[in-house]
Structure 1
């Protein structure tokens, strides 16, 4: 935003807690290899394109009517996909998981209430807190960005938050939390009636043996697990996020949702994709192979990639991440510079995109041996 626009903005009667903030947004630069925003880089399978096209065509005939505001059929499909004994009453959805998180804060946050999370983590959390006038508390991680059960529980007891957001797998580091951390946070928040949200946007990409927080839902009425169809289902452009929780949590979100917030076209698109989950999850397996390839080859290059349960890899031991970022960009490849010291993040692309990234990075490091710390 230009300085002139910032000055004009400052003259408006903006809420005090929004002054000085910048809107969320990763760079959108039109280059051949875009590996900076954790999209599913694999093309949508033609069978799924055809199914979505037909579903939207049918929905178009009824667009003069409001959509099903309870989107029961979609919630039933989501429950069937997740399993774990969930029913449609345990599911809720909105326009991307960001809107789901916003609705949670609208229902359980607000003035005089607080949200605790543990940076570095998803950068939208403090922005969502500001937008709902919820106080944002920054928890602490260890130097290697891990979070233990005892340390997380201690910080919950110290801060007494109304809500805790746990990102697992974490963005930008990519590593999943152990279920013991989630259990400890939930138990520590018992005395404060704390809502605990586990953001599992990248759950489908987790390493073998990684258990979902969905397994912890029974008997925990203050636990919420959020998911998205943007990543594994390649629907970033459709905007469909959802959650699983106790039925009374879903009832609470009905109090703050906008009328008919989920369009008929969105519902039709999501249902068609869910009907082809097996085809889309085949792409997920290929993405995981490319992710593991990135981890292996970055290690061979003398860099330090984090353990990744996601469709991206954060890697370090760079003396000047900005210089590496610019060199890759000059080769038509964009990755993400999150500002973490000595580190960059790259999305696992197609085999060709992954090769382009690795070849460019290898050539840069060979020409600039001082680039490795």
Structure 2
């Protein structure tokens, strides 16, 4: 049997590992930041009706410009945006890939700030784009001074700012984005996959778009809209950005079924987003509960919590898994990450962690006093 190493694969891809969280189906799945709330029945019914209508025309190619969907996304985002400011693809990963294809490539460089979303360097590698990982403060915060210093040293063609940062949940001040944009000559991408989970008063980078033609704000319907299985990501930017992506997108890349399902969800945005407030409450419960157990809980503006002072992350992971609960090992020493689930799922996780502490004792170090962004 031929192995990967036997194939004439590009040298820069040899030895790399593909992205992938464990796909273990257990009773409580809190490992990949999904929205564990089901799509409301009434919304499901409308989406099914739209899909049935779309199926009747699948012998024809879908709208290549997905015009109706871009109108709906612009209406959802607000901020004076129109369809000309919007682009969409099969998940925000494809959005980022298209940006790398259009503005990266061989001889060009992308800059991010580690630890951050693990797909960034993989997307860079897949498009032949050089990847530079800048660093963060010890508590995973990113200051304007540190970010600008990296930009001036690297002179990247793309800068990827994850806001809030994945896997740490760390908020990102708008001042940092402004400073990076002013210091850079390239495309600045703000990945706001978790923007709907911002605490009250936290502003989106959408407010910075006017007058900044190199700024891109990427979003997804996977998280807040409970649409992870549909694969719909999108961006807002100057219209010229969409023109650039038209040069690299595959023909008819958004299927008629994807467009119909997304339109159905957006038509019920208020109902779909009603669950967000509950998720934020569960996130805050997790942060408070873990802090009370003695863990170091990092600030988060997302739907997940990163916690440290875990002496044996693999042991915690396996003991939870034995109880039918899966969370995420992120490769950050002495840390684990858990997604906020339903109230019942959150309770199961916190009770299981309390039992773990009873068996093994509390972490040695006091927890963070302010875990929520």
Q: TM-score range by the shorter chain?
A: over 0.9
Answer yes or no: is 1:274 the counterpart of 2:266: yes
1:12-39, Cα deviation, whole Å (9 max, x unpaired): 1101111001111000112100000000
Q: d(CA) in 2 for partners of 1:30 and 1:120?
A: 27
Partner in structure 2 of residue 124 of structure 1: 119
Partner in structure 2 of residue 221 of structure 1: 213
Q: Which runs of 4+ in 1 moved over 3 A?
A: 370-373
Q: d(CA) in 1 for partners of 2:164 and 2:327?
A: 19
Q: d(CA) in 1 for partners of 2:72 and 2:296?
A: 40
Partner in structure 2 of residue 46 of structure 1: 41
Answer yes or no: is 1:152 the counterpart of 2:147: yes
CA drift of 1:362 comes to 0.4
Helix, strand or coil at the partner of 2:356: helix
Instruction: Determine if contact 1:94/1:242 at 8 Å carries over to the other structure.
Output: yes
- What is the aligned counterpart of 1:299 among 291, 311, 319? 291
Instruction: Determine if contact 1:319/1:370 at 8 Å carries over to the other structure.
Output: no
Helix, strand or coil at the partner of 1:136: strand
Answer yes or no: is 1:186 the counterpart of 2:175: no
Partner in structure 1 of residue 369 of structure 2: none
Which runs of structure 2 are paired with 1:219-298 in the superposition (5 Å)? 219-298=211-290
Instruction: Determine if contact 1:319/1:342 at 8 Å carries over to the other structure.
Output: yes
Partner in structure 2 of residue 69 of structure 1: 64
Helix, strand or coil at the partner of 2:161: strand
Instruction: Determine if contact 1:319/1:372 at 8 Å carries over to the other structure.
Output: no
- What is the aligned counterpart of 1:325 among 301, 317, 324? 317
Which runs of structure 2 are paired with 1:81-120 in the superposition (5 Å)? 81-120=76-115
RMSD of the TM alignment (CA)?
A: 1.0
Instruction: Determine if contact 2:89/2:233 at 8 Å carries over to the other structure.
Output: yes
TM (norm. structure 1) is 0.97
CA drift of 1:108 comes to 0.2
Instruction: Determine if contact 2:221/2:232 at 8 Å carries over to the other structure.
Output: yes
CA drift of 1:370 comes to 5.8
Q: d(CA) in 2 for partners of 1:371 and 1:302?
A: 6
Helix, strand or coil at the partner of 2:87: strand
Q: d(CA) in 2 for partners of 1:370 and 1:297?
A: 13
Instruction: Determine if contact 2:294/2:363 at 8 Å carries over to the other structure.
Output: no
CA drift of 1:64 comes to 0.5
Q: d(CA) in 1 for partners of 2:176 and 2:314?
A: 34
Q: d(CA) in 2 for partners of 1:17 and 1:39?
A: 32
CA drift of 1:105 comes to 0.3
TM (norm. structure 2) is 0.97
Partner in structure 2 of residue 336 of structure 1: 328
Helix, strand or coil at the partner of 2:60: coil
Q: 5+ residue gaps in structure 1?
A: none
Q: 5+ residue gaps in structure 2?
A: 366-373
Q: d(CA) in 2 for partners of 1:50 and 1:292?
A: 32
CA drift of 1:75 comes to 0.1
- What is the aligned counterpart of 1:171 among 145, 162, 166? 166
CA drift of 1:144 comes to 1.1
1:206-265, Cα deviation, whole Å (9 max, x unpaired): 111111000000000000000000000011000000000000001000000000000000
